[in-house]
Structure 1
Amino acid sequence: MTDVQRGTEQASWRTLPGFTTVRTYQPRWLSRDLVAGLVLTTLLVPQGMAYAELAGLPPITGLYTTVLALLGYAVFGPSRVLVLGPDSSLGPMIAATVIPLVTANGDPGRAVAYASMLALMVGAITVLAGIFRLGFVADLLSKPTQLGYMNGLALTILVGQLPKLFGFSVDADNFLDEAAGFFRGLVDGDTVGPALAVGVGSLILILLFQRILPRVPGVLVAVVLAIGCVTLFDLPERGVDVVGPMPEGLPPFVIPSVPLEDFGLLLAGALGIALVSLTDTISTASVFAARRGEEVSADREMVAVGAASIAAGLFQGFPVSTSGSRTAVAAQNGAKTQVTGLVGALAIAALLVFAPGLLRNLPQPTLAAVVIAASLSLADLPGLRRLGRQRRSDFVLALAAFLGVALLGVLPGIGIAVGLSILVVFNRAWRPHQAVLGRSEDLAGYHDLTFHPATTHLPGLVIYRFDAPLFFANARSFRDQVRALAAAEPRPAWILVAAEPITDIDTTAADMLGDLVRGLHEQGIRLVFAELKDPVRRRLDHYELTDTIKPGDFFETIRMAVEAYQASTGRTWERGPGSYEIPD
């Protein structure tokens, strides 16, 4: 094999990690992957069906989506254990995008077409983002806003599934209407007793197994017992809705077709879904990679998740994401490679081909219980309380994201969460921490006077630190603080900027610096810089500020600048804290 051929082969393995799995697979792993895959299947089937209904789609599409997502990630996915498929956090977003485009009492086939097109769009966005190395977009959801969003999503899912758990339905478009409709149904006596018994019993079983026997698939136990109760007690005759007959066989290859005028709304939903899917995937992949001593490539994960969504969209599926709970089940049961996912996909395919009627008696309240259990896992109330104790501003952000999802809807909620995260970044750069530095006898170096009162000072010298890049939004703040320090009594001779935290200076800030230096010079005050990074210094040269800010105004360290000040003025250190501080 030539070097070119070898390089081409290695590139293929990097692009398609599934090839690497086949090439390096060890026979001793097979038994573990088989067991983990079969155990995983018992969770994938009911969750796939439940999350499809959560997305407003027929239950069978959840199984189609699961199969294609597992196959797609097995070929393109870099993680050995990550499990992709329908997800509870994406279900409401898919429903919020698709349902308004489908006519009232709409055709399920039309809803599937919209969802499949949505999957293709999400997949394309995600793959392109990975190719162009845009993995950082997952950081657009800060931890507080993500926490608030997920808690709001959990509440929305819970309230939306309560009517089904109680055996009736509610016609509502938002959280408040769903809550009002549910309580109205309770008051009007719409509850179906047998349905409530099956639903609550299923939910209790799932939660008990999660807490007491986490290695046992409680969802499977609940599903088997619920189907047994339906068959034994003829519950459909008592008003309990069941899944009913499902199509036989594997899904056909279909390129979905939707009206051109609906693409704008689909694109808006696809962007939000892609962001949430990527955030979930990268965070989950990071957790499990750390446990295995592996590194995560956000860009490769994006390509893999996008490929899985595209595969699902071509076979009547919908967008997918990573599931932490299903990945944990695979890992706990000894999964070694993505062969685990292939086993799960083949097992579900066999179910569709050879035993499609096996799940026809699965009661809808049990599916509601599966979704409610998933929603409870999304909620993190202790996390909100911790934010309230640790940082009030982060708690307010989380609360705003929570209320955005709960009161305005899932898609507006994700928009609010992203907007708040960006606003936080901008606000912290706009109004960064600023400090006057001083020297204490018990500490080496120069420190913020707010936290370390100075015991000595150099008369006429102010050491000022600005903890952010200088750009158009905060240039005025920098200028105003320097001018205020220059106006203090006694007037300083030098204002020394401890510039190590200033990682960039844009043209607006550069113009401000030029005007500021000239204005201070007219007052007999010298503005100098210490520890300015070389790239930022070169940028200032590029801005042609060398005639205004002289080379002698830059020092390698604060200490060198202080020694230069002493040599220039003859000043010596004196007892006392001095009189300069950041103005209010």
Structure 2
Amino acid sequence: MSVFDAVPGVRAIAGYRRAWLVKDVVAGVVLTTLLVPQGMAYAELAGLPPITGLYTSILCLLGYAVSGPSRILVLGPDSSLGPMIAATIVPLVAADGDPDRAVALASMLAILVAAIMIAASAARLGFVADLISKPTMIGYMNGLALTILVGQLPKLFGFKVDADGLLGEARGFAEGLADGRTVGAAAAVGITGVAVVLVLQRRLPKVPAVLVMVLLAMAASGLLDLDDHGVDTVGVLPKGFPAPAVPDVRAHDIVLLLAGAAGIALVSLADTISTASAFAARTGQQVRGDQEMAGIGVANLAAGLFQGFPVSTSGSRTAVAARSGAKTQLTGVVGAALITLMIVLVPGLFRALPQPALAAVVITASLSLADLPGTVRLWRQRRAEFLLAVAAFLGVALLGVLEGIAIAVALSILNVFRRAWWPYETVLGRVDGLEGYHDVRSYPDAAHLPGLVIYRFDAPLFFANARTFRDEILKLARADPPPAWIVIAAEPMTDVDTTASDMLQDLDEDLNAGGVSLVFAELKDPVRRKIERYGLTRTIDPRHFFPTIEAAVAAFRAETGADWLAPGDARDPERPRTRPGPGAS
């Protein structure tokens, strides 16, 4: 492996063009206006001090600039990861409520995510991003959006709720409203902030809506002395930059963090691959899943060593960078440098920023996670996948975000098994004016040959569906009159395992006893070699393997003299006689 492959940042520097510099710097300045408020807001969403969001943004941008393969992907704190981070670390912090311990746990969580990503990259496991199907991801994100929204409502209205889970937080918010705990000024700032962001994003998409809202909220805070009216503000951020250090956590805490780290790694990878694919299509780049895993891993490692927390790709921030003319990861480096200058030189810049404004940032971000049109489309197009989305949604809403991602993965995997377990199967016939043989469900007037059934099973034949295959074949064999040949249109049958092989042997012997031959057509060569290795050709006549369905039909007609019949034609009272070959079948 060359240094260009191991460290993509070196390749970027070697191929950098002077004409890109101004565009990257301008894009970096614009991006910073979004990185700062979102970084602080998502840190609080994760249950951490706002400053940690800025540390995280700086280090992950630098880490990905060195190790990430994409030219313009922007990593950072993400709204989809915030609840997962909180769900992982809050139970460990709850006993003593120490914010420093929360930061240490979150930083160790980032390091664990990095270790998982880098190890998976080395093992070339980039395909794990496909473990969550789109319907279950839609349901998961819808549940996550609702969880974030409900969790931020008390902060938007100026009070706190001590509750866990969506239902508990919803109940606590309703009780807070009923008890009159709402701070009017806070609610006004928060609700106005949400409205400003949504209107600007819809009407003026090129305007930095979050920045405009944050500046307006800070101006209102200063002019109206909102802190005197019960509105909490961010306050002065700690000055300076932390020294690199391995988080000080107990060994048993690491064990408890591992499950959360695995879930965060999976969601982060899936989000990154989908975002990278979308932007790579525009720039002509190729998505390299394994390198993306390594890039995310290094970004998380850098964040974890500097009091940061796990990060992912942000589609919205990447879109802002792209619209601003970003050409390379120098855009992120410029953003990291500007944030560093801010916290070193002017840490009090955002001291007047109202906390309800940060809640507004998170709520508007959560709304972008939900995909209601996609959910409706699933309902209209495929009810089974709609139910998967609903199940994933309920898993997040009722059980929690970590349990929800586990349910989403489990449902995706079970759906794959369901399709393989009960695949589509049908009988084929000949249709006038169309070449080949076609599904009689789609073409009920398809012609058939008396004594011959052409059966297609659209899946590999393995232990989970072997019984289903056998039962369908036996059902066809019990027809009145029974067929002489059952031809398996085996082109979709990409594998036959040993369990299925034993089943085929027993099935063929049962069919032979009734005078029915089991015949295969279009069986792929690798599968045919497996069948020969299993010894099945001792039971199934080797002459009953045909390269095409046409060849099998021609052999049957030559042997029996049968002719095609339409469904309405009279059947011969006796099935065509076949000349028995040597051996069985």
TM-score range, shorter chain: over 0.9
2:98 maps to 1:72: no
2:512 maps to 1:521: yes
Q: Kindly indicate whether the alpha-carbon contact (under 8 Å) linking 1:457 and 1:577 is maintained by their aligned counterparts in 2.
A: no
Q: Distance in 2 between matches of 1:235 and 1:128?
A: 49
Corresponding residue SS for 1:358: coil
Partner of 1:200: 191
**Cα displacement string for residues 511-532 of structure 1 (whole angstroms, at most 9, x for unaligned residues):** 1011111221122111010111
Letter aligned with residue 534 of structure 1: D
Q: Kindly indicate whether the alpha-carbon contact (under 8 Å) linking 1:440 and 1:453 is maintained by their aligned counterparts in 2.
A: no
Q: Kindly indicate whether the alpha-carbon contact (under 8 Å) linking 2:440 and 2:446 is maintained by their aligned counterparts in 1.
A: no
1:446-465 residue pairs with structure 2 within 5 A? 446-465=437-456
Q: Distance in 2 between matches of 1:59 and 1:39?
A: 21
Q: Distance in 2 between matches of 1:543 and 1:259?
A: 53
Partner of 2:152: 161
Q: Distance in 2 between matches of 1:426 and 1:557?
A: 29
2:212 maps to 1:221: yes
Normalising by structure 1, we get a TM-score of 0.96
Note the C-alpha offset of 1:205.
1.5
Q: Distance in 2 between matches of 1:171 and 1:419?
A: 31
Corresponding residue SS for 2:518: strand
Corresponding residue SS for 1:471: coil
**Cα displacement string for residues 123-180 of structure 1 (whole angstroms, at most 9, x for unaligned residues):** 1111111221111111111111100110110000001000001000000111111111
Q: Distance in 1 between matches of 2:60 and 2:255?
A: 25
Match of residue 298, structure 2, among 303, 307, 311: 307
Match of residue 33, structure 2, among 39, 42, 50: 42
Q: Kindly indicate whether the alpha-carbon contact (under 8 Å) linking 1:150 and 1:402 is maintained by their aligned counterparts in 2.
A: yes
Q: Distance in 1 between matches of 2:368 and 2:484?
A: 61
Corresponding residue SS for 2:107: helix
Letter aligned with residue 116 of structure 1: S
Note the C-alpha offset of 1:552.
1.2
2:484 maps to 1:493: yes
Matched-pair identity in %: 65
**Cα displacement string for residues 251-286 of structure 1 (whole angstroms, at most 9, x for unaligned residues):** 220101222222232111111111111110000100
Match of residue 100, structure 2, among 109, 116, 132: 109
Partner of 1:139: 130
Partner of 2:400: 409
Number of residue-to-residue matches in the alignment: 571
2:319 maps to 1:328: yes
Match of residue 386, structure 1, among 338, 352, 377: 377
Note the C-alpha offset of 1:413.
0.9
Partner of 1:565: 556
Note the C-alpha offset of 1:14.
1.2
Match of residue 32, structure 1, among 23, 31, 42: 23
Q: Distance in 2 between matches of 1:167 and 1:540?
A: 70
Letter aligned with residue 576 of structure 1: P
Q: Kindly indicate whether the alpha-carbon contact (under 8 Å) linking 2:466 and 2:503 is maintained by their aligned counterparts in 1.
A: yes
Structure 2 residue runs without a partner (length 5+): 573-585
2:556 maps to 1:544: no
Match of residue 60, structure 1, among 44, 51, 58: 51
CA RMSD of aligned residues (A): 1.4
Q: Distance in 2 between matches of 1:507 and 1:575?
A: 39
Q: Kindly indicate whether the alpha-carbon contact (under 8 Å) linking 1:57 and 1:112 is maintained by their aligned counterparts in 2.
A: yes
2:239 maps to 1:248: yes
**Cα displacement string for residues 60-87 of structure 1 (whole angstroms, at most 9, x for unaligned residues):** 0000000111011101111111000000
Q: Distance in 1 between matches of 2:463 and 2:33?
A: 56
Q: Distance in 1 between matches of 2:436 and 2:418?
A: 30
Q: Distance in 2 between matches of 1:125 and 1:548?
A: 49
**Cα displacement string for residues 381-411 of structure 1 (whole angstroms, at most 9, x for unaligned residues):** 1111111111111111111111111111111
Question: Relative to structure 2, which stretch is displaced further, 561-570 or 63-72?
Answer: 561-570
**Cα displacement string for residues 267-324 of structure 1 (whole angstroms, at most 9, x for unaligned residues):** 1111111111111000010011111222211111111111111111111111100000
Structure 1 residue runs without a partner (length 5+): 1-7
Q: Kindly indicate whether the alpha-carbon contact (under 8 Å) linking 1:112 and 1:316 is maintained by their aligned counterparts in 2.
A: yes
1:83-94 residue pairs with structure 2 within 5 A? 83-94=74-85
Q: Kindly indicate whether the alpha-carbon contact (under 8 Å) linking 2:445 and 2:566 is maintained by their aligned counterparts in 1.
A: no
Corresponding residue SS for 1:21: helix
Change (3 A) 1:433 1:194: same
